[in-house]
Amino acid sequence: MASQRLGLAEESDPNPGESELAVNPFDGLPFSSRYYELLEQRRALPIWAARFIFLEQLESSPSGVVLVSGEPGSGKSTQIPQWCAEFALARGFQEGQVTVTQPHPLAALSLAMRVADEMDITLGHEVGYSIPQEDCTGPDTLLRFCWDRLLLQEVASTRGTGAWGVLVLDEAQERSVASDLLQGLLRNARLGNLPGDSRVVVVTDPALEPKLQAFWGHPPTVHVPRGPGVCPTPVYRDTVPTDRVEAACQAVLELCTKEAPGDVLVYLPSEEEILLCCESLSREVEPLALRGPPPRVLPLHPGHGPAVQAAYEDMDLGARRIVVTHWLADFSFSLPSIRHVIDSGLELRSVSERDEGMWGLKIEVAHSDLSWPWLWGARRQVYNPQIRAESQVLRPISKCQAEARRLRARGVPPGSCLCLYPKSFLELEAPPLPAPRICEENLSPLVLLLKRRQIAEPGECHFLDRPAPEALMQALEDLDYLAALDDDGNLSDLGVILSEFPLPPELAKALLASCEFDCVDEMLTLAAMLTAAPGFTHPPLSAEESALRRALEHMDGDHSSLIQVYEAFIQSGADEAWCQARGLNWAALCHAQKLRGELLELMQRIELPLSQPAFGSEQNRRDLQKALVSGYFLKVARDTDGTGNYLLLTHKHVAQLSPYCCYRSRRSPARPPPWVLYHNFSISKDNCLSIVSEIQPQMLVELAPPYFLSNLPPSESRDLLNQLREEMADSSIESESPPTQEFGDACVLQ
């Protein structure tokens, strides 16, 4: 068996003092002393007891599928990939590398760094990672950590199963769209026998194990034993606090005053609350008379970027660490030094990470009346397909998440777990498991992917939880309107090109339309900015900052303002100080710059026509509007009464412009624009249209499919558009009428 063929240092256990005699089989170099230090820590992990059982099951599984079930913090995410690399090494990597998927890009980055350290090899060589706008791999990479959405895109583009010998689907219990769909595609392929002798390892929390067992046909399952230490008994509050941030801060300060040993992990629903909590704690812990160095307050969320690694650094300096996070750390980012957990019991599901920008949605939170746009990568959406809208939902976490949070405080002696809610709140309102994301997101990109994989009907694909039929039908209808499907319901030539872009279908369609309207340079910038969503990091702090922000606004609307912001950012030399003076998210703008380069490279690779920059000219203004309408005609609204009450064309919801819309911030607007194209509609206390630009209805009639206008629900807006269509048709007929005799000969085509 593979476990018997391996001759690695883990088995031979040489004396660290003789490390020069032992050679790392992955790079042929002697092991360092740090390797043995980390090896002792690895052996203390609960999962180490299951090492040989796992390797045996991986070797002998009849279906090639192995399920690994264990609690958070047991070492699954760091050790399973290394053992799979050992397995593949024993087979000479004949079937390809080991690929490990993660539901969060930051988790893939963090794990790659940790595993490379434990394996005593160089990051970017034998061990690498692939996350958005960063591919740290090379020709020698044997073990790759990858964001699951990137792997899904690779699988769709190659129409194959990928060049991997072992695929590890980690954190399956998080139920990301990509993870669920990868499992569905692999199960279909497994039924038809995957080429070669590849292996699939699915790693999950015990709560999802029964469902995965049934889905995969009861494959061999490795159960990770529970680790040492005692779990604390949760302490519940009698009532839910009206101010979660203040309650969490007070609980942290009490722990610091008591000088209870161990680090603290605080769970709050949103990034805004995380930032406010960190600011408050940083102020309040400083004057405390504590022994030793002052506590370090560290945020842990996607918007913080690679800086989240600070939570793992300087662990031996003696300073208590207070890590403030949200759902990101439910299952990922295990911190062994944590002894105290403070749990709000809530999560905020909000607008899509790809669908919010600088002039964003107004977020109402219980503790504050501030309205901030969200930072890029920070949000999770709940999509309503019937009205094509994202909803903002503050809701209880699942029982599975609550248990995972409690387990973070396990130790000897046990730590503490304070729940900022009554016990009945969890028992009566919390679902057993996290909601499957595939049942809460816009399915148009998913259906486009399934069509690219030549699956005739999305309903035929295997899902852990099948999306609602109306959601699939709405996605098919939207793709049909975008001309991504042919008359038989298969992917059209245009649809094939749309599926190549890592963008929502409507944005990809607008980018392709820019080739026709000669505004590719501007649409590339806009596509990158809409995806990276470089929001303001705080409300204006002074009149000077407000004036600097207003100078970035463009008369044509928010879309052109985003282009103007990017151009000014580039002209500043991508200067971070320039961004700070205007309250702009420098990291997100850098992200947009990288993404724009990737989109440009993709367009060149598939040989699409490009155009020269012409931003600001009258012709370019019209061309840019035409490109946007070509992709976003489904997202048009009309001001019905001249006061800013916009009726959406595709349904009869009324919405207002976002407070961050440039039309709202102008000092003396004559009146709101009568017709607007919007990037996002979100249902909240005040239904908001965000990232808005004025359009002419004639342009909508000209560029939208005729059957789309015919299928609109009855409204005055539809009647106006149909009347306009008839007038434009009559005008076209008149212009094509036989010319007068004087010019007759000149109009004859030879």
- The 3-class SS string of 125-169 reads CCEEEEECCEEECCCCCCEEEEEHHHHHHHHHHHCCCCCEEEEEE
Q: Phi and psi dihedrals of 81, rounded to 5?
A: -60, -40
Where residue 631 falls among pLDDT bands split at 50, 70, 90?
A: very high
DSSP 8-state secondary structure symbol assigned to residue 606: T
The amino acid occupying position 385 is P
Give the whole-number percent of the chain exceeding pLDDT 90. Answer: 49
CA distances from 463 to 173, 381, 474, 565 (A): 14, 20, 18, 42
**Number of neighbours of residue 111 by Cβ within 10 angstroms:** 21
Min mean pLDDT across 193-197, 525-529, 572-576 is at: 193-197
In whole angstroms, give the CA distance from residue 182 to residue 202: 11
Average of pLDDT values for 512-516? 95
The maximal CA–CA distance of the chain, rounded, in angstroms, is 103
Question: According to the model, what pLDDT value does residue 545 have?
Answer: 86
Q: Which residue has the tokens 């939880």?
A: 465
Q: Are 260 and 339 in contact (CB under 8 A)?
A: yes
CA distances (Å), 4 to each of 85, 87, 582, 748, in order? 15, 10, 61, 85
- In order of 257, 278, 280, 321, the CA distances from 284 in angstroms are 11, 10, 6, 14
Are 264 and 321 in contact, with CB atoms under 8 Å apart?
A: yes
Whether this model's pTM surpasses 0.75: yes
pLDDT per position as a tens digit, 116-131? 999 999 999 999 999 9
Structural domains present in the chain: 1-10+20-223 (3.40.50.300), 234-353+378-437 (3.40.50.300), 501-633 (no CATH), 636-662+671-734 (no CATH)
pLDDT at 209 over 50: yes
**514 burial level (CB within 10 Å; 0-12, 13-18, 19+):** buried
The mean pLDDT of 620-624, rounded to a whole number, is 94
pLDDT digits 0-9 by tens, 295-353: 889 998 887 666 666 666 655 556 889 999 998 888 887 788 899 999 999 998 653 33
DSSP conformational letter for 262: S
Does the structure show a pLDDT above 70 at 141? yes
In 22-75, where does DSSP find H-type helix?
A: 33-43, 51-60
Kindly indicate the confidence band of residue 458, based on its pLDDT and cuts at 50, 70 and 90: low
650-655-656-657 Cα dihedral, nearest 10 degrees: -40
pLDDT band for position 734 (cuts 50, 70, 90): low
User: Which residues fall within 8 angstroms of residue 101, CB to CB, at 6 or more apart?
Assistant: 108, 146, 147, 148, 151, 167, 168, 169, 170, 178, 179, 182
Secondary structure of 342-381 as H, E, C letters = EECCEEEECCCCCCCCCCCCCCCECCECCCCCCCCCCCCC
**Pick from 623, 613, 673: nearest CA to 646:** 673
pLDDT at 745: 40
What secondary structure letter does DSSP report for 466? P
What length is written for the chain?
750
pLDDT higher for 155 or 61? 61
The chain-wide mean pLDDT, for the chain, equals: 83
H-helix or E-strand containing 89?
helix 76-90
Residue 165 tokens read as 């010998």
- Strand, coil or helix: what is 417? strand
Other C-beta atoms closer than 10 Å to the C-beta of 312 total 17
Half-sphere exposure of 365 (CA within 13 A, CB side): 25
Residue of higher predicted confidence among 538 and 750: 538
**How much is the pLDDT for 354?**
33
What is the average pLDDT across 353-367?
31
Query: d(Cα 692, Cα 560) in Å, to the nearest integer?
Result: 10
What's the CA gap between 145 and 102, in Å, rounded?
Answer: 7
Three-state SS for 277?
helix
% of the chain beyond a pLDDT of 70? 83
Task: State the Cα–Cα distance between residues 630 and 487, nearest whole angstrom.
Answer: 20
- pLDDT at residue 190, rounded to an integer: 59
Residue 239 gets which letter from DSSP? S
Q: What is the 8-class DSSP label of residue 738?
A: P
> What confidence tens digit (pLDDT) does each residue in 546-583 have?
888 888 989 899 999 999 999 999 999 999 999 989 98
743 pLDDT band, cuts 50/70/90, is: very low
Name the nearest CA neighbour of 633 among 727, 513, 494.
513
